Amino acid sequence: MSTSHSMRRRAPRTSLGENRLPPALAVVVAALVYGVLPESLLVGPRYVIPAIELLLLAALLMTNPRRMVRQTRWSRVVSIGLACLMIATNLAALGMLVTTLDSSSTDGVALLVGGMQVWVTNVIGFGLLYWEIDRGGPVPRHTVARDRLAMADWRFSQDENRDTVREVAAGSSERSDWRPGFIDYLYVSLTNSSAFSPTDTMPLTARAKALMGLEASAALLTSLLVVARAIGGLGSGG
């Protein structure tokens, strides 16, 4: 039994690759959210960053328009660079947002909306980056044999539930050859930004811990300082 399981895990994978649509939609949403940020939170002209993000996305769509089946060195650089650009500009927007907190003339509604926009982009940007770096990226993660994958950056619950009850164990990584997709990484990012710490998915490598720490710190700053100041301004204004 164990020998057949080992042979199955080592067999060449014939997956069609992960669907391109969910991460592409996430990039479009993040670009739109950045495009409607208040003028004081923008890095450069309003539409420059969204235009760059959409151009990078278009280049990636030319490589994998429907399914993530091909990966080149340049596509890897562009895809990771896109996520890093999104995160960097959003952190800059957060920094500029924090600098407005000591101004008594700051409108509470505008501050609250700006804080929520930054928080949403934070979730999308880090979710994309997690998806891009774990186990070699989305292409090898879904198209090559498990024993050829790079070391995992995150441990999902499916990676450790093979010894639970039958209906749960059936979906485990070992028994069903489950691989994480974009929605899984977006969920990790969402819960990390909400709880300010890992929940059901644990970071394994130093870079995973550093990235999750940075994301949680940005989310905590947004929630405790920006949103709290905005709600306080709304209350005093009433």
What average pLDDT score do residues 94-101 get? 84
User: Is it the case that residue 4 has pLDDT exceeding 60?
Assistant: no
Q: Work out the percent of the chain whose per-residue pLDDT is above 70.
A: 86
Domain borders along the chain are 15-237
Distance CA 198, CA 173 (A): 20
If you ran DSSP here, which 8-state letter would residue 196 be given? S
106 falls in which pLDDT band (50, 70, 90)?
low
For residue 19, the SS3 value is: strand
Per-residue pLDDT at 29: 97
Per-residue pLDDT at 233: 60
Contact call for residues 91 and 218 (beta carbons, < 8 A) = yes
pTM: 0.88
Q: How many CB atoms lie within 10 A of CB 80?
A: 15
Element (H, E) at 154: strand 154-155
Closest CA to 68 of 174, 154, 180: 180
Which pLDDT tens digit goes with each residue over 137-182? 999 999 999 889 999 999 999 999 888 888 888 988 988 989 999 9
Which pLDDT tens digit goes with each residue over 118-128? 999 999 999 99
99 falls in which pLDDT band (50, 70, 90)?
confident
| Placement of tokens 């990636």 in the chain | 60
Q: How many CB atoms lie within 10 A of CB 79?
A: 28
For residue 177, the SS3 value is: coil
What value does the mean pLDDT of the chain take?
A: 87
Per-residue pLDDT at 12: 46
Distance CA 23, CA 212 (A): 19
Closest CA to 63 of 81, 73, 75, 51: 75
114 falls in which pLDDT band (50, 70, 90)?
confident
Per-residue pLDDT at 227: 65
Q: Work out the percent of the chain whose per-residue pLDDT is above 90.
A: 62
Per-residue pLDDT at 49: 95
Query: Kindly report the CA angle at 221 between 215 and 226, in degrees rounded to 5?
Result: 135
Contact call for residues 148 and 9 (beta carbons, < 8 A) = no
- Determine phi and psi for 185, rounding to 5 degrees: -75, -35
What average pLDDT score do residues 228-234 get? 65
User: Is it the case that residue 10 has pLDDT exceeding 60?
Assistant: no
